[in-house]
Amino acid sequence: MDYKKSGVNIDNADKMLENISEELGENKGLYGGTFPIYKYLKDYNEPVLVSSTDGVGTKMMLLEEEKQWNTAAIDLIAMNLNDLVCMGAKPLFFMDYYATGKLNPIDASNFVKELSKELKKLDCQLIGGETAELPGIFSKGKVDVDGFVVGIVEKNEILSKEKVKENDILIAIKSNGVHSNGFSLVRKLLEEKKLKYSKKIIAPTKLIVKQTLKIKNYIHAAAHITGGGIEGNLIRIIPEGLTAKINMNWNLPEIFDEIREAGVNIDDMLKTFNMGITIIYAVSKENEKIVLDELKNMGEDPIILGKVEKGSIGVEIIR
């Protein structure tokens, strides 16, 4: 008996590392990833580091079957960086965790290559990660990916609920579809043949990093709409004594109509999915036009969902 016979092939791990040596650069082979933070500190008076961690979830079960490594990379980046910029922070560096029951060095290296490529577009550096072959936990070929990002923001520029005021306008950027939340339900519907599989089900999570950083000086707070839906996420930026009143008057992506027709009631959908919304910004009336114009100039089609009013409900969705 040896390690390989028990299910862990170190030779495959070495092959994978060799394949991604260019992506790791100077961090290849180090026990920890390094990042030259001194280059950035000079631009801040009171710099604050912000971190976020998240994964792609059970959507990976669909992505791995089709070897959609670019989508998996974008999903992982979005689930982390979209959260990070809700704090007003600029992403600096990223690390990933790739776990599988049986390591395929080609698949793993393709994923990391896609991850590095997409991060570069956002001026965020991949400085390392972990690849784990776990035959006792994962069945053969199954993959889970998680990520960790660190960013930086000026202390007085941190976006927070304390800045949200009565009469703030709620402006949203639409989603690409389901994104990376609610896939345990989606997969159940697929398994029971209540929902027909199509590529739109696994469309990549929309990245809203550049958009949010572009307008961060004109907004009070931002809510990335993920697990828990609009209410479960928007409530995180609404102070006590105020209520975000939303009119559900936008057109839903087609996939949500199909999920509803598959037998999921609208109340459960609102608690589970983003329902066509990627992010919601709380914006003063004075900055409403600036934010709308900036987002349109970046190719977005922003929508006004409602506004913040006095009240104790927290979030009220009118449909």
Q: pLDDT per residue over 168-187, tens digit each?
A: 999 999 999 999 999 999 99
Q: What is the mean pLDDT of residues 95-111?
A: 96
Least confident of 118-122, 135-139, 292-296: 135-139
Asked whether residue 181 falls in the same domain as residue 110, the answer is no
Asked whether residue 193 falls in the same domain as residue 310, the answer is yes
Q: Which two tokens stand for residue 266?
A: 């609208």
d(CA 22, CA 11): 19
Confidence of residue 85 (pLDDT cuts 50, 70, 90): very high
Q: Which residues of 209-222 are buried (b: 16+ CB within 10 A; e: fewer)?
A: bebbbebbebbbbb
Confidence of residue 21 (pLDDT cuts 50, 70, 90): confident
**Residue 129 sits in which domain range?**
3-157
Asked whether residue 171 falls in the same domain as residue 33, the answer is no
Q: Check whether 5 has a pLDDT greater than 80.
A: no
Asked whether residue 44 falls in the same domain as residue 151, the answer is yes
Asked whether residue 256 falls in the same domain as residue 234, the answer is yes
Residues sharing a CB contact under 8 Å with residue 106, sequence separation 6 or more, in sequence order? 19
Q: Which of 124, 157, 190 is the last residue of a domain?
A: 157
Asked whether residue 147 falls in the same domain as residue 168, the answer is no
Contact 276, 174 (CB under 8 A): yes
d(CA 164, CA 237): 7
Q: Which of 157, 191, 220 is the last residue of a domain?
A: 157
Confidence of residue 155 (pLDDT cuts 50, 70, 90): very high
Residue 249 gets the label, from left (phi > 0), alpha (psi -120 to 50) or beta, of alpha
Strand partners, 244: 308, 315
* Mean pLDDT score of the chain: 96
